[in-house]
Structure 1
């Protein structure tokens, strides 16, 4: 009875009461005969998963959802008639937990399993809308943008017919629509979607959608060229993530954007490395909590490691200037993935090969990126780096290879409309040698001449000679000016 009262309290939005009732019920459950014991445990685990969802605790959502799923699988419909119409709910909760944990492929699988278990007519009620919304967002994040976009549009259309297109049940669908607009670099479309997304998220109860909204506002501000506004939205996202540290995927994405802003803002590379170190501490805490949950043996959790994502790419991009030969290996886990992450990986590989003067390999990598991007018009990966070298590789690919010409021309037209991207780059009075370029790559790290010499296995005097030559060729007189001019020349990321 206490377990049932906990479910009722949760459904009514009395979350504190539901948690208290579940805690009171648990010690009494083992005394119940089967199947009443299993039914009571299902109720307890579902309540805990739903409360964990409000708290942004991806691990607990996943764990409790898996426990409920396992118990329901062992119950006959006659044993638990009250669950007959909701047997897919625990699978839905598991899918949400997977998505928040950085396992979008597993999320899509669990959400589809939920639909197979409860094959109701499409979107017959708000619960079905909510399930479809989560599935649409999981598909988009997983890389199946076209499928996710089509589903999100269907959700909004059906919700419109039901009289409430903007509600908590459609929040994830609106987020999915906005993400696709961002991937396709269509600022006007993103701006038209955001007001509905904002109203829907305001009604939603989970923190994941709120973080996503701040990150989309960040992108929107960058589209408008409003860097201070973008920084504010990123700070708001991080503040929410500090409140809800269990949102693994969202935190990884936020860190990737923070590192990007640090690198583009002219901060020393040490700032980006500090951000990564802080994130690594969070990753360690997540993995430790995951290991402890696995050790309990009561739920078969997925691997603690997340799928490759934007943070994987950012780690690779930070190596472009100083260690380009390592970029391919670092982003390799992402290069096989569909969608934006896979495209970003191949663009980074193309930049690295170009940095090493491997022109044919750079063209080959860019060709793979275009093969992945063109069908879904995913143009953002070619624009996000703000690198003139990416544009040059694209132009060279258009001239020498010519595949996906219409898409390449579409991307280049965006570049041509952006004043900051088309301003004429300064030129060095004399090209830098390969060794001078490598030395320049170490300057943002704030390493001393002795540390650079040790890393390159050359003498300190040789480093000084290279720097003297670089100063002369770039027409500068300080290390800080070298970094600034080198960035303008696309010698640094």
Structure 2
């Protein structure tokens, strides 16, 4: 403030009043001042509304950080009620943003979206669009959109969050890093034709990690970034880059279920199925609770892939069903979009019937059909044969229609099955419709 320097260092009172103790605890929890050892927080929060609401918010943040997001919910509900009653606009945005983050930690996708969108709407109305807490809400929503396999929404939200932190030094480095990672991952996933450059996305992921440097980062954020960058590096054929991010994660957070999953992915990509299976088992059983809910989904998909390749049908089916059961409350479709043809074949076999539409398994089947370029994989003649498979024509009749022998048709059909990852005429037709390789039949017009 321009006043003279203090003549002595300020001293903390031995027995501070409760209001002051709450303020200090909140300041430390939110990173405004360095944390101190031996801090004694009051057991009972003061009744003064502002201090009480801030204390509730700080306790909720502590609960989320220590892995008890369920305990944060009632604290945040009380904090939000006080904020609304007394007009604490900024604190209300904080409570809503933190409620969205707590829901993400609990795997409640619906609450993530509801609380996060309300937080952003309130921030916009209140002139707080450029606050760190609005950016935090945007980050949680962007990650949820990425999991739903909606990269355009993820890109829009991540860029909005970064725009709110566009002044030098504004916002925690961890938040900037998380938003930059989410924007880059949306690029990898194809966030629109103009932006969907996977190689550029990987470059942005690597650049975000380099810019973070030695800044501290929450283990959950580090795990999210590592999974996104590692998968992108493997998919683009850069195993050395994948090993680099694996080492970075272990250095940051130690050996976790996530680091075991990265080993499983590396081994699977290198054709070392037994080692991949063992690493997936470690991720699921031996490493304790994962940092991210999606980790278990991905590990079960590794197990499903290896079991399917080994023709262990019962084990493959069980692994896929476990993955689907864990993914559904998260609305985590992205892992299925990145899974290989073995998982897609299992999805078609188990959930490709008429009742699949509208179910989560049906959505996973549909999103898995969007990966790769199946239309380019089929030859022109194979596409012509596939277009006739929905009909009631026999293979002999299809051959006659195309002026080729029935043996040629059978050869094309076998090739179609292999390229689409299916095992029957019915599932080939389903895959063809899902991938846009078969035009839907025109609707009949009834004349009265």
- TM-score interval (norm. to shorter): 0.5 to 0.7
Offset of 1:40 from its aligned partner? 5.3
User: Are 1:197 and 2:181 counterparts?
Assistant: no
SS in structure 2 of the partner of residue 391 of structure 1 = helix
Aligned-pair RMSD on alpha carbons?
A: 4.0
User: Are 1:212 and 2:174 counterparts?
Assistant: no
Distance 1:88 1:217, change over 3 A: same
Q: Which residue of 1 aligns with 2:341?
A: 388
Measured in 1, the distance between the counterparts of 2:10 and 2:58 equals 21
Matches within 5 A, 1:17-96: 24-26=9-11, 29-30=13-14, 34-36=15-17, 42-50=22-30, 52=31, 70-73=40-43, 84-90=49-55, 92-93=57-58, 95-96=60-61
Offset of 1:365 from its aligned partner? 1.5
Q: Which residue of 1 aligns with 2:144?
A: 180
Task: Name which of 47, 62, 71 aligns with 1:109.
Answer: 71
Measured in 1, the distance between the counterparts of 2:215 and 2:378 equals 43
Distance 1:113 1:324, change over 3 A: same
Structure 1 residues 185-194 or 351-360, which shifts more? 185-194
Measured in 2, the distance between the counterparts of 1:235 and 1:161 equals 35
Measured in 2, the distance between the counterparts of 1:331 and 1:393 equals 22
Measured in 2, the distance between the counterparts of 1:247 and 1:91 equals 21
Measured in 1, the distance between the counterparts of 2:117 and 2:353 equals 38
Task: Name which of 320, 323, 326 aligns with 1:369.
Answer: 323
Q: Which residue of 2 aligns with 1:472?
A: none
Q: Which residue of 1 aligns with 2:98?
A: 134
- Cα deviation digits, residues 88-110 of structure 1 (max 9, x gap): 434534554665x6x5x425534
Task: Name which of 120, 145, 153 aligns with 2:82.
Answer: 120
User: Are 1:330 and 2:282 counterparts?
Assistant: yes
Q: Highest relative contact order (Cα 8 Å, sep 6+), 1 or 2?
A: 1
User: Are 1:253 and 2:217 counterparts?
Assistant: no
Distance 1:378 1:138, change over 3 A: same
Measured in 2, the distance between the counterparts of 1:108 and 1:67 equals 26
Offset of 1:359 from its aligned partner? 1.4
Q: Is the Cα contact below 8 Å between 1:45 and 1:67 reproduced in 2?
A: no
Structure 1 residues 364-373 or 125-134, which shifts more? 364-373
Normalising by structure 1, report the TM-score. Answer: 0.61
Normalising by structure 2, report the TM-score. Answer: 0.67
Measured in 1, the distance between the counterparts of 2:177 and 2:141 equals 16
Aligned residues: 363
Offset of 1:325 from its aligned partner? 3.7
Q: Is the Cα contact below 8 Å between 2:185 and 2:205 reproduced in 1?
A: no
Distance 1:75 1:407, change over 3 A: closer
Measured in 2, the distance between the counterparts of 1:422 and 1:91 equals 55
Q: Which residue of 1 aligns with 2:308?
A: 354
SS in structure 1 of the partner of residue 213 of structure 2 = helix
Higher helix proportion (structure 1 or 2): 1
Distance 1:341 1:358, change over 3 A: same
Task: Name which of 207, 219, 224 aligns with 1:236.
Answer: 207
Measured in 2, the distance between the counterparts of 1:109 and 1:267 equals 42
Measured in 2, the distance between the counterparts of 1:128 and 1:71 equals 23
Matches within 5 A, 1:395-410: 395-399=348-352, 406-410=359-363
Measured in 2, the distance between the counterparts of 1:410 and 1:168 equals 34
Q: Is the Cα contact below 8 Å between 1:335 and 1:346 reproduced in 2?
A: no
